[in-house]
Structure 1
Amino acid sequence: MSQAKANGMLAIVTIFWGASYLFMKMGLSSLPPFYFIALRFLLAFFIAGAVFYQRLWRVDRRTIRHAFLLGTMLFLVFAFVMIGVRSTTTSHAGFLVSLTVIFVPLFSALFFKQTLARQVVIGVFLTTVGIALLTLKGGMTMKQGDLFCILAAVCYAMHIVVTGQLTKHSDSLALGILQLGACGFISFVVSLSFESLTSPTPSAWVAILALGILCSAIGFVVQTVAQKYTTAAHAGLIFSLEPVFAALFGYLFLGEVLPLKGYIGAALVLVGILYAEMPRKEFPLKEKREFSRQSG
């Protein structure tokens, strides 16, 4: 698989995740949050596992350990988001969770010694400014919920970075499926401990099916496979399109209209993504040295 195809697959996944906010509103209106997360990811695990069951028979213990690590990270992401949204505004939460785009290249450089191309750094800057314009309303004050949303962004960034590393040593498809089961299992255990379980309403089932199939079964499995053929920094940048698609679906289905700065922010995010993804022509090392000598 080429890097361009992998990036395209990640973009499709991001569209699904942008639409997920519509379905989350439907589900959380009648279900407790951890139970909702558990149903979503367990459904995704059983569907993906049924389709690719032959790959799961051949997994080793290392892949299972890696899957529980990634599943734990996914659980923390969604747990922190749920807690954070309760005590902060949705605009703050949207911006702070989208700080993932900043943490991904930072963690890649700090922990895995990956160099950052100037083009990617500029893209990160443009998308960060764009996300701020798109989601912030008024001044920024730090609340307890804001801290939880920042923790969610940190966990999400680590999930992206660690996924990129673990797929080098494990079956990426099996890893992507098993992490769904791990996240669903952890969420269900937490739900049994702290929540009262209720039967999903018809609208909640629609949300569970949409989130479980499109956003989780397809989304996280495709993410895990595609990241094997692209960089963590590029993956993080593409995922920053999520609030843009969320705003688009909000306009189409809920009649939500963005202010002028919101549309400017969406445009900046798109420009940042496109700029970072533009092909770069690199000189071979030998030609670079000869060019430097001639210039000197």
Structure 2
Amino acid sequence: MSDRRSALAALVTAGLLWGLTVPLSKLALEWLDPAGLTVVRFSFAALPLALLTRRGLRRAFSLPVVAWGAGGYGLVIIVQNLGIGQTSVSHAALIVGAAPVLVALLNAALGRGTSGLVAWTGFGLALAGVALVAGGGGDDATLEGDLFVLLSVAGSAAFIVAQPRLLAGRDPASVTAVQLGAGAVIALPIALAFEGLPSSLPGTTPLAAAFALAFAGTLLPFVLFALGQARVTPELAGAFVNLEPLVGGAVGALAFHDAFGGLQLLGATAILAGIALSAAPRRTRPGTTVGGRDGGRGRTRPPRTARHV
């Protein structure tokens, strides 16, 4: 299997697993508050990952890596949890489909965009799909909750754009371990100051959801995404974030009985089509490369990225 195909397979699997994060977060928020859930989620994910990648931790540990982990993971997920608690699962899951478009816009604004017309068509189609799904309404959805989720998506997009330089010369999984740990550390004082300790013991479902969120929804997909993101452009890696809202929206409709009518089905189809277009390899003329040359030998060296959470 080629590097590109293995990278795409890792990104697809990560996107599918991340589709469970919003439903699991919704269940876990019945026990923990937004910051507290962030602490639990990232602590239980970061510790085993740090043990597995301990040889690369020293090189991965730096002030920029820690700072972006605290903000891009910790603060972003606190805001996202605030939104999830105030809106429907389907709305929260599907709004994150705006991430690839925001990533592409930020890269273009910084003069680092590499996407062609076909990819931009895919981004636009995916965003239109998200708008169709969100526009379908729902009794449990609120504008305030939707805006919190959208704000978290904007923060994640900035993180995705900033991450390539942080990953350069470092093991992606080790960087992920450091950043998840930083996210847990920054969330802890916020949880203690504004939320306090849980007032009651958790039920079986919220407790199971919290642990599933940490491992199946965080540890495994973060590792897969970190491995895949090192071989593709930020825009392409961001496109697979759209698998998360697609899966999350379906789970919301089936398990949480969120509204999922004709508009939502049309939007889901548009999201899939957008992913397919944005994932298509960009054609280049002979003798050219995309993303910079490696030591003057003409090998493509794509930038590295991060993932939206």
TM-score range, shorter chain: 0.7 to 0.9
Give the structure with the larger helix fraction: 1
Structural mapping, 1:175-254, within 5 Å: 175-198=175-198, 199-254=201-256
Most deviating of 16-25 and 77-86: 77-86
Q: Please state how far the C-alpha of 1:200 moved relative to its aligned partner.
A: 3.5
Q: 1:60 to 1:180 in 2, by over 3 A?
A: closer
Which residue does 1:120 correspond to in 2?
119
Is contact 2:136-2:260 (8 Å) kept?
Answer: no
Is contact 1:33-1:82 (8 Å) kept?
Answer: yes
Q: 1:44 to 1:67 in 2, by over 3 A?
A: same
Please give the secondary structure, in 2, of the residue aligned with 1:229.
coil
Counting aligned pairs with the same residue, the percent is: 26
* Matched positions, count: 283
Q: How far apart are the structure 1 equivalents of 2:277 and 2:97?
A: 19
Structural mapping, 1:31-180, within 5 Å: 31-56=32-57, 58-59=58-59, 61-62=61-62, 65-85=64-84, 93-94=92-93, 96-138=95-137, 145-180=145-180
Q: 1:259 to 1:252 in 2, by over 3 A?
A: closer
Q: How far apart are the structure 2 equivalents of 1:284 and 1:213?
A: 44
Most deviating of 170-179 and 249-258: 249-258
Which residue does 2:303 correspond to in 1?
none
Q: Please state how far the C-alpha of 1:208 moved relative to its aligned partner.
A: 1.7
Q: How far apart are the structure 1 equivalents of 2:131 and 2:245?
A: 10
Q: Please state how far the C-alpha of 1:126 moved relative to its aligned partner.
A: 0.8
Q: 1:274 to 1:98 in 2, by over 3 A?
A: closer
Is contact 1:123-1:272 (8 Å) kept?
Answer: yes
Which residue does 1:292 correspond to in 2?
none
Is contact 2:116-2:282 (8 Å) kept?
Answer: no
AA at the equivalent of 1:263: L
Task: Render the CA deviation track for 1:74-127: whole Å, top value 9, x for unaligned.
Answer: 122212223345666666645544321211011112225233211110000110
The reply on whether 1:28 has 2:26 as its aligned counterpart is no
Please give the secondary structure, in 2, of the residue aligned with 1:6.
helix
AA at the equivalent of 1:14: G
Root-mean-square deviation (CA), in Å? 2.7
Is contact 2:23-2:252 (8 Å) kept?
Answer: yes
Q: Please state how far the C-alpha of 1:246 moved relative to its aligned partner.
A: 1.0
* Uncovered stretches (5+) of structure 1, i.e. residues with no partner: 287-296
Q: How far apart are the structure 2 equivalents of 1:60 and 1:215?
A: 23
Q: Please state how far the C-alpha of 1:276 moved relative to its aligned partner.
A: 1.9
Task: Render the CA deviation track for 1:13-58: whole Å, top value 9, x for unaligned.
Answer: 11111112221122111221211110110000112122233332x4
Larger CA Rg, structure 1 vs 2: 1
Task: Render the CA deviation track for 1:100-156: whole Å, top value 9, x for unaligned.
Answer: 1211011112225233211110000110111111232359xx955554333212111
Which of 249, 259, 263 is the equivalent residue of 1:261?
A: 263
TM-score (norm 1): 0.85
Q: 1:172 to 1:112 in 2, by over 3 A?
A: farther
Which residue does 1:291 correspond to in 2?
none
TM-score (norm 2): 0.81
* Uncovered stretches (5+) of structure 2, i.e. residues with no partner: 289-309
Is contact 1:38-1:187 (8 Å) kept?
Answer: yes
Is contact 2:97-2:126 (8 Å) kept?
Answer: no
Is contact 2:122-2:275 (8 Å) kept?
Answer: yes
Which residue does 2:285 correspond to in 1?
283
Q: How far apart are the structure 2 equivalents of 1:167 and 1:112?
A: 20
Q: How far apart are the structure 1 equivalents of 2:137 and 2:216?
A: 34
Q: How far apart are the structure 1 equivalents of 2:175 and 2:60?
A: 10
